[in-house]
A = this chain, B = another copy of it.
Amino acid sequence: VDKRWLTPREQRAWRAYLRSEVVLRAYMNRQLMADSGLSLTDYDVLAHLSETSSGRVRHYELGEALQWEQSRVSHQLSRMQRRGLVGRECCAGDARGAFAVLTQEGRTAIEAAAPGHVAAVRSVLFDGLSEADVATLERICTQVIERAAGDCAQPDDEQPDDEQ
């Protein structure tokens, strides 16, 4: 219980961070589901697809963007395909590859869901924040992503500040 511990403020911040994510995801899931029958993960996939001009994205790109593993991408797309929200296309030029493509039904779904979703994000997060807060949040989270992904290969056998 010394230099290796978090300060009280750090401890509060760390727990608030962990819990905010749980609560926020649950909230967004309920909101989206009630509003449009989509989960937050469904929404993220559709949002990504709808932002490309072609409405097509390689599986591995989706995985990188969402920080998902390959198999999660595969399973998620299978489920969404079953519901008609996305389709699959082979990749000319790299026969290993596959595209996920937005169907008309998928496009309709996200367009219907978007306004309510954005309003919810605002009301639960941004409405209470200043410009500076938003910038700080982005900076902090981006840094976390870099650091956690940087050590991605191995979490380093963690004896980091090895005690005396």
Given contacts A27-B152, A158-B31, A66 and B22 within 8 Å (CB-CB): yes
Interface residues of A in 25-43 (CB under 8 A from B): 26-27, 30-31, 34-35
Residues on B with beta carbons closer than 8 Å to the beta carbon of A129: 140, 143
Total identical chains? 2
Given contacts A119-B159, A155-B27, A145 and B4 within 8 Å (CB-CB): no
Say whether A141 contacts B26, CB under 8 Å.
no
**8 Å CB contact of A9 from B134, B142, B143, B145:** B134
Interface residues of A in 1-48 (CB under 8 A from B): 4-6, 9-10, 12-14, 16-24, 26-27, 30-31, 34-35, 44
Given contacts A140-B133, A161-B123, A67 and B22 within 8 Å (CB-CB): yes
Say whether B27 contacts A125, CB under 8 Å.
no
Residue in chain B with minimal CB distance to A5? B118
Residues on B with beta carbons closer than 8 Å to the beta carbon of A126: 6, 10, 14
Residues on B with beta carbons closer than 8 Å to the beta carbon of A26: 67, 148
Q: A94 an interface residue at 8 Å Cβ cutoff?
A: no
The interface residues of chain A, by DSSP majority, are classed as: helix
Say whether A136 contacts B133, CB under 8 Å.
yes
Say whether A158 contacts B13, CB under 8 Å.
no
Residues on B with beta carbons closer than 8 Å to the beta carbon of A151: 27, 123-124
Given contacts A119-B4, A122-B6, A163-B115, A17 and B148 within 8 Å (CB-CB): no
Interface string of A88-124 (1 = CB under 8 A from B): 0000000000000000000000000011101111111
